[in-house]
Structure 1
Amino acid sequence: MALFLLVFVVCLLIFGSVIALLLLSGTPRYRTEPRQLLELIDRALQSQVNETEWNTIIGYPIRHDETLDGIRRRAQRLVDVHGNHERVNRGKPLLDATGQEELRALRDHLARHLALREARDSGE
Structure 2
Amino acid sequence: MALYLLVFAVCLLVIGAVILVLMSSSTPRYRTEPKDLIALFDKALNSQVSETEWNATIGYPIRHNEYLESIRRRGEHLMERHGRRWMIAQGKPLLNQEGQEELKALRDHLSAHTALRQQ
User: What is the TM-score when the length of structure 1 is the normalising length?
Assistant: 0.90
* Offset at residue 46 of structure 1 (A): 1.5
CA shift digits 1:5-62 (9 cap, x unpaired): 1110110110011011111111111122211210110111121111111111111222
- 1:72-111 matches, within 5 Å, as 72-111=72-111
Q: 1 CA distance for matches of 2:84 and 2:31? A: 28
Please state if 1:22 is matched with 2:22.
Answer: yes
Corresponding residue SS for 1:38: helix
Identity %: 61
* Offset at residue 100 of structure 1 (A): 1.1
Letter in 1 for 2:105: A
Corresponding residue SS for 1:86: helix
Letter in 2 for 1:95: L
Q: CA RMSD in A?
A: 1.1
Give runs of ≥4 in structure 1 deviating > 6 Å.
none
Matching residue of 1:38: 38
Q: 2 CA distance for matches of 1:44 and 1:66? A: 23
Flag structure 2 segments of 5+ consecutive residues without an equivalent. Answer: none
Q: In the comparison of the two structures, how many residue pairs are matched?
A: 119
Q: 1 CA distance for matches of 2:86 and 2:27? A: 34
Flag structure 1 segments of 5+ consecutive residues without an equivalent. Answer: 120-124
Matching residue of 2:115: 115
